[in-house]
Structure 1
Amino acid sequence: MRKPRIDYTAVFRALPGMVALLTPDLVYADANDDFVRLSGRTREQLVGRYIFDVFPENPNDPAAAGRQETETSMLRTVATGERDTMALLRYDLEDPDRPGQWQEHFWSPVNAPVRGPDGQVELIVHRVEEVTELIRAFGGPGDDSRARVLEAELYTRARELQEVNERLRRAHAHEREVALALQAAMLPAPGPTGEHAAAVRYRPAIGSLNVCGDWYDLADLPDGNLAVAVGDVVGHGLAAACVMGQLRSALSAACRVADGPGQALEALGLYARSVDGAESTTVVSTFIDWAERTVTYSSAGHPPPALLDPDGTVRFLDEATDPPLAARPRHLARPQARTSFTEGSTLVLYTDGLVERRTEDIDTGLDRLADSLVRHREDDPEQLADALLADLLPATGNTDDTALIVIRL
């Protein structure tokens, strides 16, 4: 069966209901046939013109707010890249046949983004349904006063709902600003690592406040070597982030006085027993010895670090794995193991959001990681970190938080 050739311009023009396309500057790019017919404007009167030049607000209504609300909704769609459904809107139209005469209209608008190849919003899909007759129908035949009362009541309730939504948006924006400041304070960019380039990445789960319980840390050791760690607190949001901050600071301090990563995790495990919400946290700690060219590591229930050799061989450091923090009833020493590396190797530490999927075995995710490392082994750490996120995280957004460290040895 031959695949039919689809004329998407014809499809758009034939769409039922009023639909228009606007640029991010709110200039009409196109309109379907129903929009042209029901708005009383020709396509030539629409395309290439600013929306509020085509449809100015009623100057005889000092309380009119339709323009402001429509503009705010459209610009919010451009800024966030998300669909914005407006509350019931009154926006009067000037009679094209009787200049100066304005007709009362009520609308139910929705604005949706169309993204370009670079992910930026290129167009706004503006779908609007006129509900004027529906509102007036509530009054019943021959009862104009009752219709007007119900019309006013419905319109008032819609405006109240719109105001509540605006307050919620402002509150959420403020909360997000606080969350971003908190996350930046707890997960700063890594300091200088000498001649050894390093890159870090953090991606919260979709729908979160941009804060999470995943963390990374690079700590200079007194002997001139480097401790690198990642961890994952159970849960999402501010509560998990607060626990994460305590554990990250405790491990960073422990690494500076411990004889190795096993002892550092042992101390962290004891501390975790006194922190609400720290149970079952996973973490892996590595000590890099530059002179000996070795990596000593210890894992508390965490996915294994990956060591990429210059020849493309990938080794997962999984010979010193123990249960998560505070997960067993009594305290025991933590194991650690050591492996050597050659100059130019790359060490990658990450949290489970990078490799785990609910419908897959963990080995499938590790294989994906190994394949991506081999393909991009010539990249520098910054490029490699971006490539790993692009290759391994779902295109629809990650459902789990993800932290990542890439360091060239």
Structure 2
Amino acid sequence: MREPQIDYAAVFHALPGMVALLTPDLLYADANEDFLRLAGRSREQLLGRYIFDVFPENPNDPAAAGMRETRASMLRVLETGERDTMALVRYDIEDRERPGHWAEHFWSPVNAPVTDADGHVLLIVHRVEEVTELIRARGASDSGRTRVLEAELYTRARELQDINERLRRAHARDREVALALQEAMLPAPSPVGHHRAAVRYQPAASSLNVCGDWYDLVDLPGDRIAVAVGDVVGHGLKAACVMGQLRSALSAAARVADGPARALEALGLYARHVDGAESSTVVKTFIDWAAHTIVYSSAGHPPPVLLHPDGTVTLLDRATDPPLGARPEHVPRPEATTPFVEGETLVLYTDGLIERRHEDIDLGLARLSDALVRHGRTGPEELADALLADLLPPAGNTDDVALVIIRL
């Protein structure tokens, strides 16, 4: 039996109830027939126009809040990528036939995201349930009682919106605290010793998605440095605290361990006693300029990349082990050594730089390798900026990114 060919555009326009599509700039992309009819607007009056230019707030009502509440809901959808159901809202509409005359309306809106494979919001589905006629019908049979109910519903709706606004502000405060904590815990992005290095830490573009990723650079005796990049599971202030504990512990272990594997073994034992540290990933490298070697060990982390002067790249993936706390008992971790020559570039990073939802990690590694080949002749600072520009989505990254580049 042949599958039916569905005209989804026709389905959209025939949907019962008011449904509109808006771009991330809150411009109308489309609206179904019920939306046009009940809103009293033609398609030409909507498409390509800013929603609040088409439906401004009633200037005769100083207490009107429909525009502010609707805009806040849509911005939450763009920020979180999640559906936002609004409380009942009063939103008066100007009569197009009689300018200056405003008709009272009560709406029950839902705003939902349409996302791409990377989770970026492409469109907002704005569905509105018109309940004005229901309130008016009740008013016809019992005007006094209905008006009391109407006022009660409106008051409760405003209370819910106030609660949502307070939650949003609390979320913003938490983000500021987390960012301050991240800045205090992570070392400043400056060269280590006399070697050329660049680091970047870029929190996700949305939500309180900060402090899960981290980096560390440590001077060691002789012409050596230790470099690490890690990723804590989770987000927010709790992840920030776990990140700080793990970074500090590994930084101390690197100063006394005889290699990266032993440093990660010590960190793994410590992580067992840190709530929230389970399944964290980290890669540790010891760079020795006198011996021209890189010794490395990885606990479930994406492999560092070594860019050679001839434009080829090598993945340092010969010493990979499970993440921290993944084994019930202590087991020695593997360690590998690779030589390097002057002018090569070592790149350590977290998975936010290369991974995309519903995509094999090999594609992300290939993108990173290609970008390194294209920009590898630039200095570490320029290369770091070029990698972020090339590899992160234009609309903003959906995961934290930590990046360390060392010119060998």
Q: TM-score, normalised by structure 1?
A: 0.71
- Residues in 1 aligned to 2:210 and 2:391: alpha-carbon distance in whole angstroms: 20
What's the offset of the Cα at 1:306? 1.0
Q: What is the CA–CA distance in structure 2 between the aligned matches of 1:234 and 1:294, rounded to whole Å?
A: 31
Matches within 5 A, 1:43-62: 57=58, 59=60
C-alpha distance in 1 between matches for 2:260 and 2:304: 13
Instruction: Give the aligned partner of residue 184 of structure 1.
Output: 183
> Alpha carbon RMSD of aligned pairs, Å?
5.1
Kindly provide the CA deviation profile for residues 321-350 of structure 1, in whole angstroms up to 9, marking residues without a partner as x.
444434445545544333222222110112
| Larger CA deviation: 174-183 vs 384-393 | 384-393
Shift of 1:389: 4.2
1:201–1:385 contact (8 Å) kept in structure 2: no
Q: Equivalent pairs: percent with the same residue? A: 71
SS in 2 for 1:246: helix
For residue 160 of structure 1, report the CA deviation from its aligned partner: 2.3
Alignment of 1:239-388 (within 5 A): 239-331=238-330, 333-356=332-355, 362-388=361-387
What is the one-letter code of the residue matched to 2:149? L
Structure 2 length as normaliser, TM-score?
A: 0.71
Find the residue that maps to 1:197 and give its secondary structure: strand
Counterpart secondary structure, 1:297: strand
The answer as to whether partners of 1:58 and 1:93 remain within 8 angstroms in 2 is no
Query: Which region of structure 1 is more displaced relative to structure 2, 359-368 or 236-245?
Result: 359-368
Paired with 1:23 and 1:398, the residues of 2 have a C-alpha distance of 16
Q: Which has the larger radius of gyration?
A: 1
Residues 289-322 of structure 1: CA distance to partner in whole angstroms, max 9, x if unpaired? Answer: 2333322222233332111011112112233344
Q: Which amino acid aligns with 1:155?
A: Y
Q: State the AA in 1 paired with 2:106.
A: F
How far off its partner does 1:246 sit?
0.8
Distance 1:207 1:345, change over 3 A: same
1:76-95 alignment runs, 5 A limit = 87-92=87-92
SS at match of 2:196: coil
C-alpha contact 1:301 1:324 (8 A) present in aligned 2: yes
1:88 Cα shift? 3.5
Where does structure 1 lack aligned partners over 5 or more consecutive residues?
A: 1-14, 114-120
Letter in 1 for 2:383: L
Contact 2:321 2:333 in 1 (8 A): yes
Contact preservation (8 Å) 1:211, 1:236? yes
Shift of 1:240: 3.2
Task: Give structure 2 stretches of 5+ with no counterpart.
Answer: 1-14, 114-120
Could you tell me whether the CA contact under 8 Å between 2:198 and 2:384 is conserved in 1? no
Label 1:390 to 1:135 Cα distance change in 2 as closer, same or farther (>3 A): farther
SS in 2 for 1:291: coil
- Alignment-derived partner of residue 161 in structure 2: 162
Whole-Å separation in 2 of the counterparts to 1:338 and 1:238? 36
**SS of structure 2 residue aligned to 1:152:** helix
Query: How far, CA to CA, are the matches of 2:58 and 2:300 in structure 1?
Result: 62
Q: Does 1:148 align with 2:144?
A: no
Aligned positions, number: 394
Partners of 1:376 and 1:78 in 2: CA distance = 32
Partners of 1:239 and 1:309 lie apart in 2 by: 39
CA distance in 2, matches of 1:18, 1:329: 53
Instruction: Quote the residue 2:198 is aligned against.
Output: 198
Given residue 184 of structure 2, which amino acid in structure 1 is its aligned partner? A
Per-residue deviation at 1:233? Answer: 3.0
Superposition deviation, residue 248 in structure 1: 0.6
1:100 and 1:272, CA in 2 relative to 1: closer, same or farther beyond 3 A? closer
Residue aligned with 2:218, SS: strand
The CA distance in 1 between the partners of 2:345 and 2:402, in whole Å, is 17
Query: 2:132: which partner in 1?
Result: 132
CA shift in 2, pair 1:106/1:314, >3 Å: same
1:53-132 paired onto structure 2 within 5 Å: 57=58, 59=60, 63-66=63-66, 69=69, 87-92=87-92, 103-107=103-107, 131-132=131-132
Residues 362-399 of structure 1: per-residue CA shift (max 9 Å, x gap): 54543443233223323433443344445555678766
Q: Give the 3-state SS of the residue equivalent to 1:145 in structure 2.
A: helix
| Alignment check: 8 A CA contact 1:180 1:210 kept | no
Does the 8 Å CA contact 2:196/2:380 hold for their aligned counterparts? no
Q: 1:381 and 1:78 mapped to 2: Cα distance?
A: 33
Distance 1:321 1:230 in 2: 14
Secondary structure at the counterpart of residue 191 of structure 1:
coil
Question: Any conservation in 1 of the 2:24–2:78 contact (CA below 8 Å)?
Answer: no
Asked whether the equivalents of residues 190 and 197 of structure 2 are also in contact (C-alpha less than 8 Å), the reply is: no
Secondary structure of residue in 2 paired with 1:244: helix
Q: 1:351 and 1:91, CA in 2 relative to 1: closer, same or farther beyond 3 A? A: closer
**Cα shift at 1:226:** 1.8
Matches of 2:265 and 2:378, distance apart in 1: 35
Give distance in 1, aligned partners of 2:272 and 2:127: 55
Whole-angstrom CA distance in 1 between matches of 2:353 and 2:202: 10
Letter in 1 for 2:104: E
Given that 2:83 and 2:110 are in contact with CA atoms closer than 8 Å, whether structure 1 keeps it comes out as: yes
The letter for the 1-side match of 2:183 is A
Equivalent-residue separation in structure 1 for 2:52 and 2:212 (angstroms): 45
Letter of the 2:133 counterpart = E
Structure 1 Cα separation of the partners of residues 24 and 232 of structure 2: 43
**Cross-structure match for 2:226:** 227
